[in-house]
């Protein structure tokens, strides 16, 4: 297995169409229809204050994180997705930490997200990084599905013991994040 890379997707990215098509397929597979951004992915990416980071290994999409910052005070993590076969290998944490770092570079003070309390592994990941449950919002996703609203700040530690983020300029002068996993 190759080295995972995390890259920011922009409308002028060379592989924009391919990556978005793959994300739409993942959205349809992972999320119920009413939670999926598959139909509105392009619209979400056109928003002025939204960012999307994706991870790949040997050209295959591993996962992605979408975040928005309506002001310099607050950002929200709108989506964090890792394909099934890549789960429990640190990819979600790496994507989340990369998004937090992007928020930090914009001087964003607080970051919030919503997560289904039944998705215990996701809740655990967010708590591990430093997010705290602020409140339970009933019927957030649907009439029978609630959400935790979780809050954190952009001053989280970005590097953990097992992940090191390097900045590397590629030939097109775009910044990529390369993740190197260290065994414990």
Written as one string, the DSSP assignment of 37-56 is -TTTHHHHHHSTTEEEEEEE
DSSP-based three-state secondary structure for 33: coil
In this predicted model, what pLDDT tens digit does every residue of 50-93 receive, in sequence order? Answer: 899 999 999 999 999 999 998 888 999 999 999 999 999 999 99
Domain assignment present for 60: yes
* Domain residue limits at 169: 5-111+158-181
Domain assignment present for 29: yes
Q: How many domains does the chain have?
A: 1
Tokens representing 89 are 């290998």
Domain assignment present for 139: no
pLDDT score of 172: 34
Q: Which long-range contacts (CB under 8 A, 24 or more apart) does 10-16 make?
A: 11/45, 11/46, 13/174, 14/172
In this predicted model, what pLDDT tens digit does every residue of 9-30 receive, in sequence order? Answer: 988 888 888 998 898 888 888 8
Domain assignment present for 119: no
Domain assignment present for 27: yes
Round to whole Å and give the CA distance between 123 and 132.
Answer: 9
pLDDT score of 155: 61
Whether pLDDT at 177 is above 90: no
Domain assignment present for 144: no
Domain assignment present for 126: no
Higher pLDDT, 158 or 23: 23
The tally of CA atoms less than 13 A away on the side-chain side of residue 18 is: 7
């Amino acid at each position: 297995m190759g080295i995972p890379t995390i890259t920011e997707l922009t409308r002028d990215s060379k592989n924009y169409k391919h990556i978005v098509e793959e994300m739409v397929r993942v959205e349809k597979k992972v999320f119920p229809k009413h939670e999926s951004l598959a139909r509105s992915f392009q619209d979400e990416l056109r928003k002025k204050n939204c960012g999307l980071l994706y991870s790949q290994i040997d050209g295959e999409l591993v996962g992605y994180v979408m975040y928005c910052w309506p002001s310099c005070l607050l950002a929200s993590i709108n989506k964090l997705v890792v394909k099934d076969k890549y789960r429990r290998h640190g990819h979600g944490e790496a994507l989340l930490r990369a998004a937090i770092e992007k928020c930090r570079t914009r001087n964003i003070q607080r970051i919030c997200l919503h997560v289904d309390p039944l998705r215990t592994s996701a809740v655990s990941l967010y708590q591990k990084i430093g997010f705290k449950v602020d409140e339970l919002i009933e019927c957030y996703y649907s009439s029978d599905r609630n959400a935790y609203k979780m809050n954190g700040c952009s001053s989280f530690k970005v590097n953990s013991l097992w992940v090191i983020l390097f900045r590397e300029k590629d030939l097109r002068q775009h910044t990529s994040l390369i993740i190197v996993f260290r065994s414990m």
